[in-house]
Structure 1
Amino acid sequence: MLQSSPISLALLFVTVLLTTACSRQGIYENAMDWERSGAGLEVSQINVGELEITYLRNREANNGNTIVLVHGFAANKDNWIRMAGELTEEFNVYAIDLPGHGDSSKPLDLGYRLEEQVGYLALILKALNIETMHMMGNSMGGAITALYAATYPEQIETAVLFNPAGILEYHNELTELVLAGDNPLIPTQPGDFERLVDFAMEEKPFIPWPILGVMEEKAIANQDINKKIFSDIREAGLNSDFRDAIKHIEDPVLIVWGKEDRVLDYRNGALFKQDIPGAQLTILEGIGHAPMIETPEESAQLFLEFSQPYRSNNDQEKMVAR
């Protein structure tokens, strides 16, 4: 999704139309480059085995701690731009396109269960030479973040789970729709992407129509891989292994949940808090499934306040080392 105000995005759109003969794809690419640059980010790629992984990172490195951002199902690295823009001056930010998502490789014969995705993420971070980090994840990425903390506790400084998947004791609108054979998270025809945005978010960002159209085309083109991933992660949500695993998390964990979430019921947050030793829970009124998009400044501030006791010494040590 996009950063910035409706006015600034509209001005960019008009400027592009007046000064170039861009196609919709060209307008989309220019707009995304502008958004990333404004947030202090740039796109990079790395090969991990047979997979090509695309990610965002700081345009300029700094002395701060590292933050790794893990998107949700059928989402991508750009979902973090709005919040990352609040953090790149102080932290080194990496937003990863997981396998099967965004601009990374999308093999249909790969396994996409949560624990498998944790393994892929570990290989990606090893290839990037990231040894310790603060990690944040949304939805499916929140479940992956929780499992990563349980599996690699020595690597995690803090973990923030935005509306995480993995515990489904409380059902809501999505469950009813999926059981009826209608999954609003997987666009398959024109009009479905706008429906997805309306369903997932309460405070929706402004998206100019040419950019929205390209996003929809990409989502529809990815429907086969999205159906495969959804099937794989749905299995993980129906067994007790996930809850058993997160009970062993040793790292500081903050759970943030938008109360108006129609994808994953916010009441599951209390169960995450119950299962993860010492976890904190914040419920955001008037926010849906993607707090980092819907209220990026507040989401970043929650992380800054929560992580402060666990990063100040590291920051000071880095400054002394320099």
Structure 2
Amino acid sequence: MKYIIKVLKIILTITILVTIGIVLLFGHRNIPLNELKAKYTNAASSFISVNGMDVHFRDEGNKNDSIPIVLIHGTASSLHTFDTWTNNLKKTNRVIRMDLPAFGLTGPFPDGNYSIHHYTSFLKDFLMGLNIKECILVGNSLGGQIAWNFTLEQPEMVEKLILIDAAGYTKVSKSVPIAFKLGQTPMLNKLLTYITPRFMVRASVENVYFDKSKVTDSLVDRYFELTLRKGNRQAFLDRLNITAAKTYTNIKNIKQPTLILWGAKDFLIPMENAYKFQEDLPNSTLIILENIGHTPMEESPIESLKSLVIFLGSTQVKE
């Protein structure tokens, strides 16, 4: 009995020492918001109060454009994922993008509710705050799921819909970022609110890219540092563990012209789901982008933008 107690004490001591070592090596405090703003805002950045949040957004391009393009990013990302698209589109269009609640500089929902309906309500309030009555709505991944649900709820506010590797259907992922796996693992996920190794962030970004060479240090820094905005780590967990509503049964009711853009090498939301959207959307066009992963507008922005420009009826795309 004494021997067993001694062994248990040794195991406990080693466990405590290992835990302390992990915290010392990989534990990160939140980065103050003013420091993040200094690095991740620019002259186009503004903040608008929506439901108790200061929402970071950028409104660029042709202010006389009555039907702006609204860009919505995915989980753990930010409005910066659309930088190249915006730089091209703003030459002829009005382009609006925001950091969704839980991500980027906006920070968490005050009530901690990360249901899709809560996001669509937020989007309506955000657009109304900017006096936008109708738009062309674009969304990637989670942003795509928000976009098509918003279109169902507010059809009069959406002229056209663009879905980029959009979430919403039941999926069988071929590969999942490590941060997502840990975030959905009980007990272990709580550690992510304190321990956020940069290498894990890099591995997670590389997981959704097909061409890993395009995952630069500056790109990883952006994902990593914005994750350390106060409240974002807990919000990331809360969003990952939300119970999904099966609203995809209503997708067939969307009548707007819809472009479905999909990376052929998306292993998080595989191409099978692209065909589900195509089958259910009566007025849709599907474009498969070869050798591109889950975030085409970031991994291969010029190639992916060409399809959007054709869909919108424009002609000019430049590096």
TM superposition score normalised by structure 1: 0.75
Verify: 1:230 aligned to 2:244, yes or no: no
Q: Corresponding residue for 2:105?
A: 103
Q: Which amino acid aligns with 2:233?
A: Q
Instruction: Name the count of aligned residue pairs.
Output: 273
Kindly provide the amino acid, as one letter, of the partner of residue 303 in structure 2.
E
Q: Of 257, 266, 273, which aligns to 1:268?
A: 273
AA of the residue aligned to 2:280 = D
Alpha-carbon distance between aligned partners in 1 of 2:61 and 2:136, rounded to the nearest angstrom: 19
Residues 46 and 58, structure 2, Cα contact 8 Å, conserved in 1? yes
Alignment-derived partner of residue 295 in structure 2: 290
Q: Secondary structure at the match of 1:191?
A: helix
Which residue number corresponds to residue 119 of structure 2?
117
The equivalent position to 1:178 in structure 2, one of 177, 181, 186, is: 181
| Distance (Å, rounded) in 2 between the aligned partners of 1:161 and 1:130 | 20
CA contact (8 A) 1:249 1:276 kept: yes
1:83 pairs with 2:91: no
Closer/same/farther in 2, CA of residues 168 and 104 from structure 1, 3 Å limit: same
Aligned twin of 2:52: 50
Q: 1:304 to 1:288 in 2, by over 3 A?
A: same
- Whether 2:200 is the aligned partner of 1:198: answer no
Q: CA deviation at 1:249?
A: 0.6
Residue identity in the other structure for 2:137:
M
Identify if the C-alpha distance between structure 1 residues 211 and 28 changes in structure 2 by more than 3 Å, giving closer, same or farther. Answer: farther
Q: Which moved more, 1:213-222 or 1:48-57?
A: 213-222
Matches within 5 A, 1:244-283: 244-283=249-288
| Higher alpha-carbon Rg | 2
Residue ranges of structure 2 left out of the alignment (5+ in a row):
1-32
Q: Which moved more, 1:145-154 or 1:59-68?
A: 59-68
Contact kept? 1:61, 1:92, Cα under 8 Å:
yes
Deviation at 1:101, TM superposition (A): 1.6
Report the equivalent of 2:224. Answer: 216
Name the Cα RMSD after superposition: 3.1
Q: Where in structure 1 are there 5+ consecutive unaligned residues?
A: 1-24, 313-322
Counterpart secondary structure, 1:172 = coil
Cα deviation, 1:210-231, whole Å, max 9, x if unaligned, reads 6744642332553211000111
Offset from partner CA, 1:1-41 (integer Å, 9 cap, x none): xxxxxxxxxxxxxxxxxxxxxxxx999877756xx67xxxx
Identity rate, percent:
26
8 Å CA contact 2:62, 2:93 repeated in 1: no
- Counterpart amino acid of 2:55? I
Structure 1 counterpart of 2:6: none
What is the alpha-carbon distance in structure 2 between the residues aligned to residue 284 and residue 172 of structure 1?
A: 18
Q: Distance in 2 between matches of 1:145 and 1:107?
A: 18
The equivalent residue for 1:301 is 306
Aligned equivalents of 2:219 and 2:36: distance in 1?
A: 5
Work out the CA distance in 2 between the residues paired with 1:88 and 1:196. 30
Q: CA deviation at 1:259?
A: 1.0
Greater shift after overlay, 205-214 or 144-153?
A: 205-214
